[in-house]
Structure 1
Amino acid sequence: MGQMNAVGTSRDVGNPLLFLLSFRQRDELSSVYAQAGWQVIAARRRDAAAQRFRTSGAQVAVVDARGALEDGLAALGDLAMPVADAPGALLALLSKGDADRLDDVLAAGATHFLVSPVTETELAHAARFAFRHVERLGGGWRDVEARSGTLAWSYDPASGQHRVSQGLAAMLHVDAAPRTRALLAALPRAARASLREARRSLAAGRPAVAFAHSVPVLGRVVVHLQRAEQGRIHALIEPLSAQENDSTGAAGPQLADLAGAHAWMDGRLAAGQPVSLSLVALGGIEAINRDLGREAGDWLLRAALRRIEAAVAEPLGRRAVVARAEGAEFLVAASGAGDTRLQRADAAIRQTLGRPFVAGEQVARLSARVGRVDGAAGDTAAQLLQRAQLAIDAAEGDRRQREALDELALEIPQAIERDEVEILFQPQVAIGGGAIVGVEALARWRHPLRGELGAEALFGAAERAGLTVALSEHVQRCALRRAANWPATLAALRLSINVTAQDVAHGGFADLLLDRVDASGFPRRRLTVEITEGGLIEDLADAAGLLAELRTGGCRVAIDDFGTGYSSLAYLKALPLDYLKIDKRLTQDITGSPRDRVVVRGVIDMARSLGLAVVAEGVETEEQLDLLAKEGCQFFQGYLCAEPLSIDALEALVAGRSTVITGGRTVCAE
């Protein structure tokens, strides 16, 4: 973030507090603003947003309406009054396609707006200019500790003094400038230990940290600590009750006990109605029970049930029943919902359970496994539950593998921070001439204890940690930055980067990715974006719009791993593509039976008839390459040419490569 420091950050304004509401990119934007020096109070839902803004002490509110304009307009309306009372500024972030709705944005109460594509520096500048607007209105910086409605304190190591807001001083019965011992004595015992640990984390270099504890008057609160200049510490206390009881406000599912859920399913199955059952298994409850006591674990299970209920309210509504099953398991049964709604419900469950929980005095993360099965006439509820449990076990693998992923998930933030994620490049070769025309960027984890881990383990751990988007963004940035600095011998190669299903689901992703490309200095015209076909099934129209934006922006688009998921003509007809990449399993089938070869030939013929170039992945033998060439495939990648390489090894391969004529073709060799 050195670029931001060069142009100015929030540290040159008097009040570094910023309230952020982002429906789809809360964590990413929080990181951007925190790196720019703001102390961020972030939310993902509209519920209680106005109250959270009032208690935050901030005078700048940012509403990220990209990809969710109607929700954004409603949120702007919610915040308009408290922002005006502050007095404050209300900044709206919009997608490029929503620029024609600026009148509505202004009418909702926004004082400033920013339209994507934007860089991180522009995001930081916009917040600074919004604060300057507050100052011109006669507001601006007011000492946070002096505000009667704010619960906050600060610590200056130079003087050794604390300063406490009026509201907090009255609540704790301490002076406005208490001694450290007096302030600690006023806190619950468990909160003192959490505070000491948090301060040690700040002293060790972390810019911000948060912890939760109970206050007799307020109940559960989160304390946001941030390290400021010259070792100062600022703390803001936020009541938690509004966050844990969030709800979509939609007509929600029916709640039942396990026997009631069984009766609900059996009744519909007996009547010939289809029933789908999702069994949700939480991991990590045992550790909570052991470390914090069963009472904390029981509270957490009740909180998980409320979250599941809220998560499925919009996609399933009254079509579903939600119940606690056995142990740390829950079930969601639905009838007549349709596959798309069921997929959205399962995704919403995973997302909401991926958010941290507050248990005891700790902020805890739990893992969640979802197994879904479908039932019809002749099935029983007991049979569905048994099959759902088998589905969970089959999807999860053996227990040791699950435990390993859980352990790795805890290390993902450190892996990103310590630059343990390495980017390698696998050549893509033109079959008709043998030239290396491009590379695909592939991630590897250089784990300090476990050695090299592949992308499957890396992204599997990130998914368990709820950090898939953050990791994907990190890998994309690293690949683009390194490719932008390739030596002259590699300057003509295309670069292919991968995006995940979670990336695609984020509103405004195309603008964000193009901003990322431009910031790296790598030319758009030499970039190919590869999207796995399974991640596009949910909404072809949205996927088509996203890919069209990327192509209009100058990039090329490939559909990756084609032939392994839900391949259909609809994909090839509906999506604006440039390349089709045949999955390695389909590639290797070409040397199997005549029927296998017919399938591969059909895929290649369909792609070429639609004007798409075809890339075969996982080519390992001359026989595979020979058959692919005869069927009309234009490009290949795989170990027949090279494994994924470092930049130095790639440069040596390109510089020292000769061509070997085989069966009228040229293939890659050294």
Structure 2
Amino acid sequence: MGHTDLSDNFVSAQGSAAEAPLFVLSFRHRDELASAVSHAGWHAIAARRADNAEQRFLASFAMVAVVDARGAFDDGLAAVRSLADAVEINAASLLVLVSRTDVDRLDELVAAGATHYLASPFKENELLQTLRFAERHAVRLAGGLRAIERRREIDVEGVLAWQANFQSGRATISEALRRRLGAASRDISMIALLNQLVDRDRRAGRMAIRRIFGDGKPTAFTHMLADIGGGEERVAQHLRLDRTRGLLFGTIERLDHDSEAMARGGRDALTGLRDAAAARRWIELRLGGGKFYVLLFHITRFEMINTAFGRDTGDALLQSIARQIGPLVAELGGKRSIVARTAGAEFIIGIEGLVDADRVVLLAEQLSAQVERPQLTGAHLIALSSRVGIIESREDDASVGDLLRRASAALAEAKVSDDSRVLMVSQERHESAARDAALQADLRGALDRDEIDILFQPQVSIATGKVMGVEALARWRHPEHGELGATTLFAVAEQSDYLQALSAHIQQRATRLAANWPKSLANLRMSVNVNAGDIGLKDFAENFLAMVDQSGFPRQRLTVEITESGLIRDLGPAATLLADLRAGGCRVAIDDFGTGYSSLAYLKALPLDYLKIDSKLAQDIAGSTRDRIVVRGVIDMARALGLAVIAEGVETEEQLSLLAREGCNYYQGFLCSGALTASGLERLVAEWPLT
């Protein structure tokens, strides 16, 4: 790793500024908190233990220190006291997160040195706004951003640090590092500094430097560091690039047992599996080497478990899942594999060696099948579903982040796929990303070009055989790719942050079309979909009802459908929205019931009129006795709550007969008809048999 190569990297790495460092000390929520702030653009230097907190904060060069004292107030208070002097001297901010029950002890935090606080429960955006206020406070204390940059020089007492100028090839090391290395001067060549890495750690250092010159984002790696006495210890090297001044900064963190495990990648405290840092380290060590596979394994809608049964039940379920998937992975991948829990109900699985793609896909199918068996947790028998995204490593994977972004894209595609719960993205599929990007660009003009059609799928009364209503569905007439269905359309809209605009267009277009139906359709109801993003819009119910009135379609014939995921994501606003819509004259249906865990508790709490059984569940009724019992239970539950039941995806007379026997009220599906134009719907209603 020579001076010339690194200089070339530096010269070609001009771009946006790097992420600002943020020091995080969280006794119980480190991974979740670090993930949240990292996604928002901060570089989190996170710890779970308060040992050497002051020194770690100084080495981080952060403007804001966060102490998460939720559920551990006394530990948090002690940490605030230990950090207070360093925070004050460096004109930084000290934000403390506290439990609501500890708010009456805020005076103790203020006395200890805290400058800001936030009480739980809080939403992620509230945390991020509070961090921005704290950051602005620190900037003003320090005398502006230039003063902040000056403060981030290497001369902090006791800190092992260096800065390098790649135009000159020289590095300046801190006095503490000079003493540690036994160097005669603080000014040394960059080559001499890099030679401090022992052979086995040079690959990690090379990859870290490539990463930071590639994307400019702070990064880190661990290595052994020798001292003048001939000893050595493992340290973490934190790198930060200042493009404006042409400098690369390094700070060296000495690792104790706990922090060493964290830097290498330790264990997830809940499941005993490896943690996210371990997974990233596993990938990092294999970049540029032989072939390996990465699987992102996601338990869908797991938040419903926590909402319905409580976090203790959810945690017990995750522990059970971990015990099940670990042996399956070990059987295929052996000691070369890794299973790690990242956050929530998502796992990273890494497999290397002489394993072909078919065997990896088979493993993913086995994992999904194992998890989707009913899980017994305490007194609860819980059904789960899963999705898996798989990628194969490539020679041009420049960083762990690049590879994980590809894996995340594969998982995202698996989540919206109707065909398979497991999706492996090959090189050919990767190349289709250009097509996806083009579709996202095309969608923004599709509304203006009138390419989005509204079709209507009939809903039939099982008792009378009459068509009683329709569901409005969207199709995209793409000039190049032909007709694209709702799954593709909404996936593209979500990826391009165009979901709300598309949703509003479909709602408005559907009601206007239905308002102009002929008299033969004048008694039909119509259902339109409301997505999870609509729920968060200010005054959505009021604006929606005004739009319906303007269209001329009667409110009393309109049903609003919302999915389980939309409800559970933010139950309070969802309940308020549905109540407002019902008060305005609309009816309300919960859509796709049975695709995840479905809670009786929130069904009782919400103002609903219809329950729509997911097509897969409805089609399963013609399968085993067990499947019929599940459907019967759903219908009985709906009947007990006074809800009418609509079965989606009905395709055969056998399915319809069994649904009728169990008490289902309505159905839609190809047994009657697919989605139709308004004229096609008119013909069907005129010809449809009454019995």
Q: Give the TM-score normalised by the residue count of structure 2.
A: 0.44
Which structure has the greater CA radius of gyration? 2
Q: Give the TM-score normalised by the residue count of structure 1.
A: 0.45
